[in-house]
Chain A
């Protein structure tokens, strides 16, 4: 359990020693110690708010630590800004991609380091070629000359990864890079990470997916409440042990879906098609039921959800809520009919980051909360308090800006916002993406409870354990088509993955 435990004998490449960082009165990190050895993939795990992202920001040069030392190759390293970190060979892939939407993909990768030709001009052709090579190495096809605007989260993440590997970084920090990636893409990313390690680089890998952590990493550090808990070789650890250290207690059941009474059909989708995106999608969701929509990233699951909810148009087909036809293309009517959609990308689509927790939580309830067209703080606050309490949102005060909360708590606020509309059908898109085990099981408990109260839940998820644990029925999409429907008993990892990769016969 000592920081130096493990089998590695080479001198460490990067050492963080006794790092502390506070934001106002909140101590985000206290006395954290971390050693990265050359050729090592090191996992950093911890619950939301454990301080992982703060540590990443410190390594990236975006935050200066209040105290403590960083050494690279035994030399003290002073990071005054992101440029210093880059110069030191530290590349960071952030949890939330940070791209320039107006610029091309290639420019996003090479910003500040563009290849030059005569007169120190940017060599656009060479830059696109280099970007294409990077993508070839990652085994993906993204047009380097297209603007970054409109890229899916997975593609944005891939651009970030391409950026990081283009540095030939000595230290690669990955803050949940796989959250939005499909299995194949994850494998490729790991391939790249391993080849970096083989060349003597160190990788710091932050993830909530333990199978990946154990697959990639040789050592693992646990943080809890901003403090260092342990650093051990992964070979000496089990998932249960790691989870216990993260939460400081035993988590018995991660996916506690209770059996519920099936009620009437609440959501019915018939022959929904949108040219080039999805075609002939039909299914229904009954009250008290959790239906999972599984599939690979890009299979069109989110697009179906957006079409049902009226954000995107559809060409043919019909959506019925509780037997009544829902007019296409109007989110307001969908909300009115009792639908709620918790989107995949909470930063862009789910929350107004600058507004307070209570404002966000009651954003879609403005009409019902208004008196004579005016909103009064009291009504908003009462409503917000009720839901934030039920969802156990950790926030210092309801007037804090949502942007200051941790990822898991942000997700809870999005849920609170939609649950406040008291929907009949709740569509959740990746409800636990990038949130920690503790919050995850809270979200699962909540979904299960809601189903128990008679709500119909359509859950889009890329995490198989979540799908298998939570769903009463699993619908599998492949390339825009619904290819399989599996009952709870039929669904297992093999059958779902088989269908998702398009190898099964159409259901």
Chain B
């Protein structure tokens, strides 16, 4: 559903033909295919180059590390996509992740016998509560989400620091069964990554196929029109922030399981990576278009760049620069395609009366 879709369908402009309506049928799918395809191509090229330099990059351990490394970012990117398509943004996800990760550790310290599913649900609920705080403040204060979540970014992190009081939680404090969740594989694929896949599939399916999911796009595309067509805008936006918080909570629990060592700084700065992943993945920052799949691929691409630059022995400084360049390239690409699409659609607007 990204704006880029229409670029493939090169149709003669100006004259409407019966064929136009037929070729338009697969438009959505093709649009979808294009952005995801270009991301896959970029990913493939990156892996190829890195592998040529060092063939261990494609080793099974290395791939496993890569999948493990991107899982948490992918989950957060899925949540962020839900928010961004409604023309909002959630900057507090890094802080929610940190808070939930620490809370999970504390839970095991306080009640060592807690089964891991209980910890998982607790984390998700805590994340959802944080998301509800965001959503509630946005609904009540009628202030852009950017400002509200910038505030809660610091507020949640502050709570985290206050609670931790400099203390650190170690892997030894958590049950083995829980920690295994973070490293275990199923048929050679890390469980964490499988969880991320499920999240992406569910969120993508929801956004694409459900009325309320389509309404999220409508809200982001034209909020005034959404209100006039009876869409409960406030309720949907609130729900989206709760969902984003819950997914950040899930990511927080998984973070605890994966790294074992937790302090109050866990996940600091992650929110910008998440937004970057979504933007690179073709989610329009002003809402209305973009897919969860694109955002997830964006997250995978950003993670892969990180590890491949390390393999290529490139200065970490350049890693930031490359990510920046990638974002600018993605936005530039979107702009060019949007202009071309707009010109083409305008040319086609004359219809037979």
Which A residues fall within an 8 A CB radius of B? 60-62, 81-86, 92, 94, 98-104, 107, 111-112, 114, 116, 119-122, 124, 128, 132, 140-147, 149-152, 154-155, 182, 184-185, 275-277, 296-298, 300, 480
Contact = CB atoms under 8 A, between A and B. Distances in A.
Given A82-B227, A101-B222, A152-B350, A144 B345 contact: no
A98 B221 contact: no
Given A147-B6, A149-B345, A142 B351 contact: yes
Interface in B1-48: 1, 3, 6, 12-16, 18, 20-21, 24-25, 27-28
Contacts of B232: 83
Contacts of B217: 100, 102-103
A62 B227 contact: yes
Interface residues of B, number: 49
Contact of B3 (A94, A102, A112): A102
Q: Which 7 A-B pairs have the closest CB atoms?
A: A276-B14, A150-B345, A83-B230, A102-B288, A98-B225, A298-B350, A100-B221
B353 A296 contact: yes
Contacts of B229: 82, 86, 98, 111-112
Interface stretch (B178-186, B206-214, B301-309): B206-214
B64 interface: no
Contacts of A112: 211, 215, 229-231
A100 B226 contact: yes
Contacts of A151: 345, 349
12 contacts: A81-B230, A85-B230, A99-B222, A104-B27, A120-B211, A141-B351, A149-B345, A150-B342, A155-B351, A275-B13, A276-B15, A277-B347
A84 B230 CA distance: 8
Given A145-B27, A147-B345, A101 B288 contact: yes
Contacts of A85: 230
Contacts of A277: 13-14, 347
B105 interface: no
Nearest to A182: B353
Nearest to A140: B351
Contact of B289 (A102, A128, A132, A298): A102
B218 interface: yes
Interface string B113-157: 000000000000000000000000000000000000000000000
B342 A298 contact: no
B24 A143 contact: yes
Contact of B352 (A82, A84, A141): A141
B220 interface: yes
A85 B284 CA distance: 32
B227 A145 contact: no
A83 B351 CA distance: 32
A94 B14 CA distance: 27
B328 interface: no
Nearest to A99: B225
Contacts of A182: 353
Contact of A98 (B16, B21, B25, B228): B228
Contacts of B211: 112, 114, 116, 120, 122
A92 B14 CA distance: 31
Nearest to A275: B14
B214 A111 contact: yes
A147 B284 CA distance: 15
B24 A102 contact: no
Pick from A81, A143, A275 the residue with the most CB of B within 10 Å: A143
Contacts of B289: 102
B341 A145 contact: no
A120 B210 contact: yes
Contacts of B226: 100
B349 A121 contact: no
A300 B13 CA distance: 13
A276 B347 contact: yes
